[in-house]
Amino acid sequence: MAPKVFVTQPIPERALARLREVAEVELNPDTTHIITKTELTAALKRNDYLLCLLHDRVDAEVINTSPALKLIASMAITPAGVDMATATARRIPVTTIPPLVTEATADLHWALLLAAARRVVEADRALRSGLFPGGQSMHFVGGEVNGKTVGIIGLGSVGEAVARRAGGFGMRILYTKRHRLDESREAALSVEYRSLNDLLQESDFVSINAALSPETIHLIGDRELSLMRPSAYLVNTARGPIVDEKALVRALKGKRIAGAALDVYEHEPMVESELIDLPNVVLTPHLGSAAGDTRERIAAIVVENIVAVIEGRRPPNLFNPEIYEKG
């Protein structure tokens, strides 16, 4: 009997074609529908391999009610939506992807930064509604980007990619992270270290690129937002819970900061309702890796993880290697 794979949302066709060479594939065809727990549980009664996306939740109940489940192949770098303890206890391999999304995420980060500063979304909506205030009108005056100061919170791979792009805008680049870089690395990146408080006070743009951990949940809250300049902007393409969204709403409504741009949210797919109505916020639905070439590479890697397990091999991007080490 052929292996059966459930794919929770469409992925690039080339990867699907490769998967169909080795297995029967059941696919949720709707790119706008996040599979529900009930739907996922039902699908795993019909299939023994799962290809899931970053937003999918594969909890202990889903795993334990799927006795035939042989693999959870995640399209995430870190499978936060998968109950790893339960999967490992069942000796179900969980595979992930390498950090391939750096450049695509940094591109989006800059798209959001520029859109917020130059009020692109507001102006687009106005033009479509019939408003054209004139080429030198003050109506849509926004923030300057070139030559300003960007403060990067979390200088990992994405943070460094953001810093490289900032150099092209002639910006002064500050950063903060748990472990300061050595002087040669700072010089190579043209960055200056600051404490979090000093970075918030000195920056025109606060760029969040930190990893999510217990220590970074609500790293940016009322106190931190109060340290930012009234002319400053907050940009987050890292993880939603790093920012206290209710505190951000208060800061934006009170004009304590100029604006914000978000691609990630505390309780995805839910978004703080008051953010949606604020004109000085740019919002996108977690599009960091949504670039064609990047998604092609990601999907190919995930499918090859599945093919390896089907063929009886240890998959190349295994997140719980201990399942192969036990007798």
Cβ–Cβ under 8 Å, residues 104 and 290? yes
Catalytic annotation on 239? yes
Rounded CA-CA distance 170/46 in Å is: 56
CA distance 153 to 177: 6
How far apart, in whole angstroms, are the C-alpha atoms of residue 119 and residue 141? 8
Q: Which of 109, 119, 194, 286 is catalytic?
A: 286
The one-letter amino acid code at 308 reads A
Does the active-site annotation cover 297?
Answer: no
Instruction: Please tell me the distance from the alpha carbon of residue 74 to that of residue 199, in angstroms, as a whole number.
Output: 35
Instruction: Give the alpha-carbon dihedral of 228, 234, 239, 244, to 10 degrees.
Output: 50
Among 109, 239, 295, 297, the one annotated catalytic: 239
Q: Cβ-count burial of 290 within 10 angstroms (0-12 exposed, 13-18 middle, 19+ buried)?
A: middle
Structure tokens at 284: 């996108």
Contact 248, 273 (CB under 8 A): no
Are the C-beta atoms of residues 108 and 263 closer than 8 Å to each other? yes
Taking Cα atoms as reference points, which of 284, 272, 267, 264 lies closest to residue 247? Answer: 272
Percentages helix, strand, coil for the chain (3-state, rounded to 5) are: 40, 15, 45
Token couple for 20: 């169909």
Which member of 39, 186, 268, 304 is catalytic? Answer: 268
- Residues marked active site are found at 239, 268, 286
